[in-house]
């Protein structure tokens, strides 16, 4: 008789870079309350681990604060028995500046030293990936570095940088090879940038953003710029900054990932980047956005393929059951309830 499967839980949380500095953080403590010693699990941080600009060099004005944030991760999860994973986002790359690779390598070394040298920052060396993560015989997790596509400056690729992928095209070949090899398992792909989004980076704006466009960057910047102010949301929607889906580099990556993922029904892709919670079901795949770990921004509450959207601090949990079913749930913080409030739950597989 084959060995029975064990349930497995994966917690997805992103954009936590403004968590409490050097002291317990409410969102992380809420997530931690879900972790049980007898439950196999993984905690995945979906990028933008340190705001505003990742981990600068020693002596930099922002260095001490960045170290405090990384220390909070360690203090919260130092005794965690499961799999811990961090991936990079655009802010970890010095907000996408050309010297961003130095910031990412620095963060990788620093956080892995905090956690006793464990290989928890993936993909390693600023490579594009894919980085395979072994968890159970029934669940396959693979990490990709989506910011690699948006970056200027050095973009490591090839053996000289310790990267598996020799080129952009080779990356997609390796990812497809991995998906094909694991098509009979539950597949979870993790990256910072969403493939689908019903929020600002996806070109969805409120009337407020047209009249008070500076609120896109500062929620308190209520400076009216009617008519002229519409130029900024329209630019973000149709041309886009590098962090927007409409930008040519981002658009190219999305196109390739959509095409590839569509060949593997029930694949799950989880991302951060947008400061909210979303679940999108499209082309027989499941797309989760869980980027409200420390900041919040506008999101639609429903759409053609958007089955759940919420502006609230929290995280998603995936539970892979013994019978092969998979449940997705969204949890938001509540000061009176240790585990927070269940905002959404659905059997997705």
Which of 126, 35, 25, 100 is closest to 70 using CA atoms? 25
State whether 80 and 28 are in the same domain. Answer: yes
Q: What is the dihedral of CA 230, 232, 233, 234, to 10 degrees?
A: 80
Which of 150, 70, 130 is closest to 106 using CA atoms? 70
State whether 55 and 160 are in the same domain. Answer: yes
Predicted confidence at residue 239, as pLDDT, reads: 55
Instruction: With beta carbons less than 8 A apart as the criterion, state whether 48 and 273 touch.
Output: yes
State whether 291 and 186 are in the same domain. Answer: yes
- Exposure string (b/e) for 96-115, b if CB count within 10 Å is 16 or more? bbeebbbbbbbbbebbbebb
State whether 56 and 166 are in the same domain. Answer: yes
| Most confident region among 180-194, 202-216, 220-234 by mean pLDDT | 180-194
Predicted confidence at residue 245, as pLDDT, reads: 79
| Average per-residue pLDDT for the chain | 90
Mean pLDDT across the stretch 188-216?
A: 71
d(CA 14, CA 89): 9
Q: Is the sign of the CA dihedral 190, 305, 312, 221 positive or negative?
A: positive
Task: Give the number of domains in the chain.
Answer: 2
Mean pLDDT across the stretch 168-187?
A: 97
Predicted confidence at residue 3, as pLDDT, reads: 47
State whether 176 and 279 are in the same domain. Answer: yes
Asked whether residue 44 is assigned to any structural domain, the reply reads: yes
What is the three-class DSSP state of 314? strand
pLDDT band, residue 213 (cuts 50/70/90)? low
CATH number at residue 310: 3.60.21.10
**Full domain range(s) for residue 214:** 204-241
State whether 108 and 174 are in the same domain. Answer: yes
Mean pLDDT across the stretch 96-112?
A: 97
Q: Report how far apart the first and last C-alpha atoms of the chain are (Å, whole number).
A: 25
Asked whether residue 119 is assigned to any structural domain, the reply reads: yes
Secondary structure letter of residue 199 according to DSSP: B
Q: What is the pLDDT of residues 56-78, one digit of tens each?
A: 999 999 999 999 999 999 999 99
State whether 226 and 317 are in the same domain. Answer: no
pLDDT band, residue 2 (cuts 50/70/90)? very low
Asked whether residue 1 is assigned to any structural domain, the reply reads: no
């Amino acid at each position: 008789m084959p060995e029975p499967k064990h349930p497995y839980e994966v917690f997805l949380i992103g954009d936590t870079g403004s968590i409490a500095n050097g002291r317990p953080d409410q969102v992380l403590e809420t997530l931690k309350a879900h972790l049980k010693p007898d439950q196999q699990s993984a905690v995945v941080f979906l990028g933008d681990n340190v705001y505003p600009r990742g981990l600068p060099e020693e002596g930099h004005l922002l260095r001490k604060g960045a170290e405090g944030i990384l220390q909070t991760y360690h203090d919260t999860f130092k005794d965690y028995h499961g799999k811990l994973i961090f991936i990079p986002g655009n802010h970890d790359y010095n907000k996408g500046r050309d010297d961003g690779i130095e910031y990412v390598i620095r963060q990788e070394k620093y956080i892995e030293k905090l956690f006793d040298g464990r290989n928890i920052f993936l993909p390693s060396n600023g490579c594009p990936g894919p980085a395979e993560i072994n968890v159970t015989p029934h669940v396959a997790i693979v990490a990709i570095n989506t910011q690699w596509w948006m970056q200027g400056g050095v973009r490591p690729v090839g053996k000289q940088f310790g990267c598996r992928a020799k080129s952009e095209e080779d990356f997609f070949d390796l990812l497809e090879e991995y998906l094909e090899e694991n098509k009979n398992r539950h597949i979870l792909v993790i990256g910072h940038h969403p493939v689908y989004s019903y929020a600002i980076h996806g070109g969805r704006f409120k009337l407020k953003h047209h009249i008070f466009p500076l609120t896109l960057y500062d929620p308190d910047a209520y400076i009216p710029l009617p008519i002229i102010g519409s130029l900024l949301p329209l630019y973000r929607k149709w041309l886009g900054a590098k962090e927007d889906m409409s930008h040519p580099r981002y658009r190219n990556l999305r196109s390739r990932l959509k095409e590839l993922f569509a060949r593997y029904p029930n694949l799950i892709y989880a991302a951060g980047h947008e400061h909210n919670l979303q679940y999108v079901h499209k082309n027989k795949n499941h797309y989760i956005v869980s980027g409200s770990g420390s900041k919040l921004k506008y999101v639609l509450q429903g759409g053609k393929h958007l089955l759940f959207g919420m502006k609230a601090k929290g995280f998603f949990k995936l539970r892979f059951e013994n019978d092969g079913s998979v449940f997705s749930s969204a949890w938001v913080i509540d000061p009176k309830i240790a585990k927070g409030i269940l905002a959404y739950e659905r059997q997705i597989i």
